[in-house]
């Protein structure tokens, strides 16, 4: 039933573990909206017929006496409460409480800027170099300290992100200029990228493939070009091979 509705609504392909629950919530909300739509349209047609001028030449100053509308209102509020309490809140609680540890995950830093996504990996040592705001330049969007040895093997990329299938990914999202929004539809994740804040999010991809990364916040004239980004989900071996081939350097790929 859920799968048929996914098709009917044209819900895009899914490739993350928690995404199914997001889709289920979307579908239930659509059911409620369909019921409300049909109900309102039916009532509108009834009102046109029932309160037509010819049938009611004189205004009625008493108005409605039945409590049907209040009961219907209560039922709708009840359904909304069920969606919120039993679907939305548990889903959010899972996302917040079941945060994976960095040891079991792939950690990526993402900085949005007009108009591209910058990605940064810790490199072979698994430790990110120190960052400071004053080091941020056009070539160093993450503000990596040039003096920190840990940053020497960090890997920086533009519009490209790699992840391992069935392994959690932690993304620290930030922005260099205006508010952007980091979105990967296939992973069912969206997070605003806000200057001065570093906001963590996580997901676990469960299907190998290439997925589009978008900017979901109108951020300027080149906003659309921020949808060039690609997330590549691959095997651990392919990921390790890719990482070993990257040119290390605190400003790698930007000089």
Question: Alpha carbon 33 to chain centroid distance?
Answer: 22
187 lines the binding site for Cu ion (CB under 5 A)? no
Q: Hey, what are 92's tokens?
A: 């959010």
Is residue 180 a contact residue for Cu ion (CB under 5 A)?
yes
Interface with Cu ion includes 183 (CB under 5 A)? no
Q: Which stretch binds Cu ion (CB under 5 A): 22-30, 121-129, 216-224, 235-243?
A: 216-224
**Which of the stretches 43-51, 60-68, 159-167, 175-183 binds Cu ion when contact is defined by CB under 5 A?**
175-183
Q: For residue 16, give the DSSP letter.
A: B
CB of 189 to Cu ion, least distance (A): 15
Select 28 or 115, whichever has its Cβ closest to Cu ion.
115
CB of 219 to Cu ion, least distance (A): 3
Q: Cβ of residue 112: shortest distance to Cu ion, in angstroms?
A: 5
Answer for which of 14, 161, 226, 231 binds Cu ion (CB under 5 A) is: 226
Taking the least distance from each CB to Cu ion, the nearer of 93 and 224 is 224
Among 215, 216, 231, 233, binds Cu ion (CB under 5 A): 215
Q: Which residues pair with 176 in a beta bridge?
A: none
> The tokens 């679907």 sit on which residue?
87
Within a 10 A sphere around the Cβ of 82, how many other Cβ atoms?
13
Q: How far apart are CA 110 and CA 108, in angstroms?
A: 6
Q: Of 198, 229, 212, 209, which Cα lies nearest the Cα of 163?
A: 209
Distance of alpha carbon 27 from alpha carbon 14, whole angstroms: 14
Stretch of 9-17, 31-39, 129-137, 173-181 lying at the interface with Cu ion (CB under 5 A)? 173-181
CA separation for the pair 87, 100 (Å, rounded): 21
Query: How big is the CA angle at 211 (ends 208 and 212), to the nearest 5 degrees?
Result: 170
Scanning 30-38, 119-127, 177-185, 205-213 for contacts with Cu ion by CB under 5 A, the matching segment is 177-185
Query: Nearest approach, Cβ of 214 to Cu ion (angstroms)?
Result: 9
Instruction: Decide: 180 and 10 in contact? Cβ < 8 Å.
Output: no
Q: Which one of residues 187, 219, 231, 233 is an interface residue with Cu ion (CB under 5 A)?
A: 219
CA distance 41 to 76: 16
| Count of positions on this chain that bind Cu ion (CB under 5 A) | 4
Binding site for Cu ion (CB under 5 A): 180, 215, 219, 226
């Amino acid at each position: 039933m859920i799968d048929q509705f996914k098709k009917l609504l044209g819900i895009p392909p899914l490739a993350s573990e928690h995404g199914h629950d997001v889709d289920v919530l979307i579908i239930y909300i659509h059911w409620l909206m369909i019921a409300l739509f049909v109900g309102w349209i039916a009532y509108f047609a009834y009102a046109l017929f029932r309160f037509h001028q010819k049938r009611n030449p004189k205004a009625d100053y008493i108005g409605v006496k039945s409590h049907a509308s209040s009961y219907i209102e209560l039922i709708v509020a009840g359904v909304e409460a069920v969606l919120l309490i039993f679907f939305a809140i548990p889903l959010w609680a899972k996302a917040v409480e079941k945060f994976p540890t960095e040891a079991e995950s792939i950690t990526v830093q993402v900085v949005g800027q007009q108009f591209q996504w910058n990605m940064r990996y810790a490199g072979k040592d698994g430790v990110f170099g120190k960052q400071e705001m004053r080091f941020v330049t056009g070539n160093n969007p993450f503000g990596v300290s040039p003096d920190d040895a840990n940053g020497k093997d960090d890997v920086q990329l533009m519009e490209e992100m790699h992840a391992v299938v069935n392994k959690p990914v932690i993304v620290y999202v930030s922005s260099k200029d205006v508010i952007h929004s980091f979105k990967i539809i296939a992973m069912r994740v969206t997070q605003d990228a806000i200057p001065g804040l570093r906001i963590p999010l996580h997901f676990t991809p469960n299907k190998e493939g290439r997925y589009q990364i978008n900017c979901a916040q109108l951020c300027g004239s080149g906003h659309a070009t921020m949808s060039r980004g690609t997330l590549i989900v691959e095997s651990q071996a392919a990921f390790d091979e890719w990482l070993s081939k990257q040119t290390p350097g605190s400003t790698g790929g930007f000089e």
